[in-house]
Amino acid sequence: MEIKINDNVLVLTGKYKGKQGKVLATSPKNNTVIVEGVALVQKHRKARKTNETSRIVTEESPIDVSNVEIVCDKCGKATRIGHTEVEGKKVRVCKKCGAVLDKAYVKKSKNASAEAKAEAPKKRTRKRSQKSEEKENPAE
């Protein structure tokens, strides 16, 4: 299953066609995903303790993974998922624009590029040593 938790997806078929939402849970065994705000059902919850009340709860039900498509953060379009190997790791990639879809890898690559761009740090001097030099040379 190519879709992971916290991915932004677009529903392709059914009552909620065209709606976007975040993936709350995945079930690779059943090949289903639970998407925030999609496939809402009402369930009756009976009170189990004396201080609880019975109520009707609205929650999301699972939908088949073939009915959703991941939305690229960079281009904003629903796309299929491609794979590339970068620095020895298999990474999910947008087939339309080529952007990396794995958020953990994107953060690492941004940090690495920022470190590479940074110039050599300036030589730092201790404040104590500056103060002692000023005290020693007040007559000058």
- Residue-wise pLDDT for 36-59, tens only, equals 999 999 999 999 999 999 999 999
pTM value > 0.85 = no
Give me the pLDDT at residue 102, please. 83
Report residue 109 as tokens.
């690559």
Report the DSSP beta bridge partners of residue 25. Answer: 34
Domain count of the fold of the chain: 2
Alpha-carbon 136 to chain mean position: 57
Rounded CA gap, 111 and 105, in Å?
10
Say if residue 63 is in the same domain as residue 9: yes
What does the pLDDT average to over 13-38? 94
Say if residue 26 is in the same domain as residue 60: yes
What does the pLDDT average to over 104-121? 56
CATH code for the domain in which residue 62 is found: 2.30.30.30
**Residue 102, domain extent:** 80-116
Say if residue 86 is in the same domain as residue 58: no
Confidence check: pLDDT of 116 > 90: no
Say if residue 67 is in the same domain as residue 87: no
Say if residue 66 is in the same domain as residue 36: yes
Q: Is residue 85 part of a domain?
A: yes
pLDDT tens column, 63-74: 999 999 999 988
